[in-house]
Amino acid sequence: MYYQPQLDTASDRITHVEALVRWFTPAQGWISPTEFISRAEHNGLIVSLGEWILRQACRQTQTWLQAGISVTVSVNLSPRQLQHPCLVEQVVQILAETGLPPQALELEITESVALEIWN
């Protein structure tokens, strides 16, 4: 997991991070997110991958909050994840498990996801 920081220029502080999944293998080096996310979708693993990303992002953000670093985190949702009937329960469960306050989490829906779902 990588976290892309967003800097508040008024306070010169990082106030938000976006959780980004990245994959490195010794044999192939860095694998493009487009490639492995597409494969996860094709193989029916995208919901599980999305859940793992959400859980890791919430754990890390809670760790930062406990260390006195006040940040929020955003996590992108895939179309299948967004349409999954247990998404809300899953988010509630992960927040409870990690202790992350709900206001510290933002769920992102990209324009392409919105178009795919609502067209």
Q: Does domain 2-118 have CATH number 3.20.20.450?
A: yes
pLDDT interval class at 80 (50, 70, 90): confident
Is the separation of the CB atoms in 62 and 100 below 8 Å? yes
pLDDT at 34 (0 to 100): 84
Predicted confidence (pLDDT) per residue in 11-66, tens digit:
999 999 999 999 899 999 988 888 888 888 888 888 999 999 999 999 999 999 99
Burial (CB < 10 A; 0-12, 13-18, 19+), residue 32, is: exposed
d(CA 62, CA 10) in angstroms, rounded, equals 24
Is the separation of the CB atoms in 23 and 4 below 8 Å? no
d(CA 23, CA 54) in angstroms, rounded, equals 16
pTM reported for the whole predicted model: 0.87
pLDDT interval class at 119 (50, 70, 90): low
Predicted confidence (pLDDT) per residue in 70-79, tens digit:
999 999 998 8
d(CA 115, CA 67) in angstroms, rounded, equals 39
User: What residues are paired with 25 via a beta bridge?
Assistant: 29
Q: What's the rounded mean pLDDT across residues 85-114?
A: 91
